[in-house]
Structure 1
Amino acid sequence: MATHFSFTKPQLDALPFPAPGERVIYHDTHKNAAGLQLRVTSTGKTFFIQRRVDGKPERVTIGKFPDYSIENARKEAARLTALIAQGINPNTDARALKTETTLQELFDNFLQHRRNKRGAFLSEKTKRSYRYDFGLYLSKWSKRKLSQLKDTDFSNLHTEIGKEHPTTANRVIAMASSLFSYANEERLFKGANPASGIKKYPENPRARFLQSDELPAFFSALAEESNETLRDYFLISLLTGARRSNVQEMQWSQISFDRAEWRIPTTKNGEPQTVALTAEALEILRNRKTDNTDVWVFPGTGATGHIVEPKKAWKRVLERAGIDDLRIHDLRRTLGSWQAKTGASLAIVGKSLNHKSPSTTAIYARLDIDPVRESVDRATGAMLAAAGVKPIGGVVELKAKLKKQQR
C-alpha cells in the first residue's frame, strides 16, 4: 500500500497493524497537511511531525488516532510548524510541562508554607476554610498544571458560583488569586495570574442582630436545648461578642475569674484580645467549671477536642424560637448593636469586639477595659431585661432562670 496519500478516516481505519517491533510511516499529502505523518505499530496509530530544530531532527508527537481527528491533527501540525519556524522547540515545552507544579501541589504547598505579612503561618481556621472551598470548587482542576489554567477558567467559575452565591464567588476567586501570587513568589509559576483582575460582585454588609421582640423567644428556645454544652456556647457567644472560632477554642487557662477576664492569645486580626466577662457570663463558666475537667471550656468529640460546627443545635434553637435568617455570627453583632443602643461610642464597641481599622486603631490603643466592661454590662443587661430573664439594674443567675423557663 502507498505510504503517501491524502488522509481520510476510512483509509486510516483500514491500515493494517505491523508485527510487534515493526512500524510503518504514512505521509499526509492533503494541501493543509503541514507535514503531518502517521506512525503505525502493533499497539496503535499516532500522528506526528518531523522537523529539524537547531540543526537536529526532532519528532513532535501530536496524538493518537482516532482519538485525535485528522482535521485537528492537521491544525496542530500547522501550529507546531509555525512554532518551530520561530525557533521554538515544542518538545522542550512539553518536557517542562511534565515537571510543572499541579494546582493540587501548589495548594498543599501554600497551606504548609504560606505566611502572612506579620510572618505568621495560616491559622487552622483559615486552612479549614480554604480546604472546604478548594474541595468544593477547585479540586476538579487539581491535576492540571498551573500553565494550563487560563483566566477564562476562573472568570467562568466566578460567574457560575455568583449566580446564587456572589460572596462565595468573590472568596473563591480571591483564594485562587492568592495561590498564583504565592506560586510566583516561590518561582513555581511564570506568567500572569489567571485569577486576578476579575471584577468582584458587590457585597451588601450583613446587619442582622436579635431585636427586642425576638429575645424572649430566643432565650426560651435556649432554655429547651437539651445539649448543655451547646446551649452554654451560644450564651457565651452572645454575652461576650467574641468570634465563634475563639469561643469554640476557649480554654480554662485563658479565664481569670478573679479579674473577670478572658484572655484570647490570637484573634482573626493577629492580635490578642482581653474580653470583659459579665456576671452572667462568669456564672455560666463557674457552673461549667464544676463539671468540666477538660482543657476546653466547650469540649467536643472530634479531632480538635472542642466543638466545631454546632449547626444542628443552632437550627433546633431557631426553629423553636420561630426566628429566621439568624446566624451564630449574628450573636456577635447583637452585642455590638445593643452596646450602641445603650449609649456606647463606636470606639468602645470596636474595642470590645476587637475590630481593627486604620481610622480607629489609635483610639482603641488608649482605651482600657473598664469602660468596655461598663458598656458590655449595660448592653447584656438590656438584652436580658428585654428577654424577660433579668430585672433592669439587677444581676440574674442565668442558668437557673433558663431552667425555670424550661419548666
Structure 2
Amino acid sequence: MKFKFTKTALLALSPPEAGSRTTVYDTEVPKLALRLTFAGTRTFYVVKRSGASMAWVKLGTFPGMTVEQARAEAQKILGEFAAGANPAAVRRAIREEPTFAAMLEDMLKNKKKRNGAPITDRTKHDYLDVLRLHMTLIRSKKLSHVTRADVKAIHVKTSKKSERQADKAVAIISSVFNFAVDHEHFTGTNPAMRIQKNPAVSRDRFAQPGELPYLLAAISESSLSGFFLMSLLTGARRSNVQAMAWREIDLDAGVWRIDMTKNGTPQSVTLSPEAVTILRSIKETRGSSPFVFPGTGKTGHIVEPKKAWATILRRASIRRLLDHMEADGKLTIEERTHADRLVLEAPAAAEKHYISIAETLGVEPVTYDMTGLRIHDLRRTLGSWQAKTGASLIVIGKSLNHKSLQSTAIYARLDLDPVRESVNAATQAMLKAGNVLEFKRA
C-alpha cells in the first residue's frame, strides 16, 4: 500500500493480526517504508535492492522520528547507495553521526575566531547555558534528525521568555551546523537557515544630565564606587573592567592596555586625569591582589556587581523623588532629614515607603525612576557625552573599541591623542552636570 505519509495517516493505521506485519510506502520518497507490528510499533525503513537481495535499513520508530526526519534520513541513505555504499556502511554512518550537543561541544573546543583566537570561556558557558535552557528538543538528536520545524519550535517557545535568547539560540544552532559542514560531519541543509528573527530593538539608554548628580552621589556611597566610576569614565566593557589588572595600567602615561576584548582584539584605553586620580587612590590602599577590583571567587576579581548597582539606582531614584516632593511642598525639613537617613541606611525600605506615597500623590515614575539603567549603559553614557561634546563617530568608535568592517582600518590608523581629548572633554561635561568639582585622593 502506498500513500503520502503524514502523522495523521500513520497514526490511523490499524495493527495487523497477531504474528504478522504491515508495510506501507511513502509516495513522496518511494523507497521510504513504515512497518507496523501487531504490538503497534511503527518503524521507518529504507527499502532498496542491493545486488540480488533487498536491503532494509532501519531509520527509527514513529512518532519519535517524524515523517519529515524520516524523509530527510532516507534521502541521505539513498544518496549513500547511489555512491556505491553497502547497507552495513550506511547503518554505521547513521550510528556514528554526532548528536547536536556533541557537535556543539566539538565546535566550542576546536573553532577559532577570525583572528585565530579560541572561543573564550565566557562564550562557552553562555552557549552551553542556552543549550541547557532552550534546546532540550534537539540536544540528543543526531544532526540529520534535527529539522527546520524543530528550530522554529525552539525559537517560538523561547521568544515567549526572551526574544534575545530566542534569536541567540537560532544563531548558535546555525553555527553548529555550519561548523559540522565545514568539518565534513554533516552534508545536509542547515535547518536554522533563514529562520525569521524577532524585530531588533535598539537600546539607546544613557545617564541624562538631570540624572547624573543623583547617580554620581549614589556611586560615591557604594563599596564598589571605583568599579562603577571606571566603567563610566573609560567606557570599557563590564567584563574588562571587572578583570582590570595593575600590570595593564600605565598611570604616568594615562593608558590602560587590554590584551583581549570581547570582539577578539586588544585595546588601549585612554585614562582621563580623573580616572588616573581614582586609580592612584585605589592603588595606595590595595593589598596583594594583581587586580584593581579583587574578589573572593576563583577568578580573583569581582564577578557580579549587580546587587551593588541595584542599591545605587534605588538610592538615586528615591532622592530624585524626594527632591520632587520637596519642591512641591510635600515634605517638611524634618521629614526630608529622616528620609535622607532612611535612604542611606535602608534603601529598600525607603523605596517601598516613598514610592507608595508617590503613587498616592499621583507622581509619575518617569519623573524620578532610574532603575532601568544598566551597568552597560555607563559605557553608552561616555559615548553619548562624547557625541554631545562634538566628537566624531570614528573617535567614539575608537574610544569604545567598536568593530565594523567599514571602519576597522581607519580605527587602526588613529592614535590616542584625539581619543584622549574627546574622553577628557566628555568627563569634564559629565562631572560638571553631576556637580562634582574634583576627585580627591584618599
212, 215, 237: which one aligns with 2:231: 237
Q: 1:367 aligns with which of 414, 426, 439?
A: 414
TM-score (norm 2): 0.71
Match of 2:428 in 1: 381
Query: Which structure 2 residues correspond to residues 327-406 of structure 1 after superposition, within 5 A?
Result: 327-390=374-437, 395-397=438-440
Assess, with a 3 A threshold, how the Cα gap between structure 1 residues 312 and 194 changes in structure 2: closer, same or farther.
same
Kept after mapping to 2: 8 A contact 1:39/1:47: no
Change (3 A) 1:161 1:96: same
Aligned residue number for residue 183 of structure 2: 186
User: Contact 2:246/2:291 (CA < 8 Å) preserved in 1?
Assistant: yes
Instruction: Give the superposition deviation at 1:267.
Output: 1.8
Q: Corresponding residue for 1:171?
A: 168
Question: Within 5 A, what are the aligned runs for 1:109-148?
Answer: 109-148=106-145
| Distance in 1 separating the partners of 2:142 and 2:423 | 52
Look up the SS of the partner of 1:275 in the other structure.
Answer: strand
For structure 1, which runs of at least 5 residues remain unmatched after alignment?
Answer: 1-6, 13-25, 401-407
Aligned-residue CA RMSD (Å): 3.6
- Name the structure 1 match of 2:356: none
Contact kept? 1:27, 1:35, Cα under 8 Å: no
Shift of 1:378: 1.4
Aligned to 1:250: 244
After superposition, where does 1:280-319 map in structure 2 within 5 Å? Answer: 280-290=274-284, 291-319=286-314
Shift of residue 283, structure 1, vs aligned partner: 2.0
Deviates more, 1:201-210 or 1:308-317: 308-317
- Cα distance in 2 between the residues matched to 1:46 and 1:241: 60
Query: Conserved in 1, the CA contact under 8 Å of 2:99 and 2:142?
Result: yes
Q: Is the 8 A contact 2:310 2:371 kept in 1?
A: no
1:277 matches 2:274: no
CA change 1:91–1:151 in 2 (3 A) is farther
Give the TM-score taking structure 1 as reference length: 0.76
**Identity within the alignment, %:** 44
Equivalent of 1:27, from 12, 20, 23? Answer: 20
Provide Cα deviations, 1:263-289, integer angstroms capped at 9, x if missing partner: 111223332211111222112212222
CA pair 266-185 structure 1, distance change in 2 beyond 3 A: same
Q: Which amino acid aligns with 2:103?
A: L
Q: CA deviation at 1:51?
A: 9.1
Task: Pick one of 97, 100, 104 that aligns with 1:103.
Answer: 100
Distance 2:258 2:270 in 1: 11
Residue aligning to 1:15: none
Q: Please tell me whether the aligned partners of residues 110 and 182 of structure 1 are also in contact (alpha carbons under 8 angstroms).
A: yes
* Bigger CA radius of gyration: 1
Give, in angstroms, the shift of residue 347 of structure 1.
Answer: 2.1
The alignment of Structure 1 onto Structure 2 pairs a total of residues equal to 357
Structure 2, unaligned runs of 5 or more:
1-12, 26-32, 318-369
Return closer, same or farther for 1:36/1:9 CA change in 2, 3 Å cut-off.
closer
Structure 1, 55-64 or 118-127: larger mean CA deviation: 55-64
State whether residues 55 and 87 of structure 2, in contact with CA within 8 Å, keep that contact through their aligned partners in structure 1. no
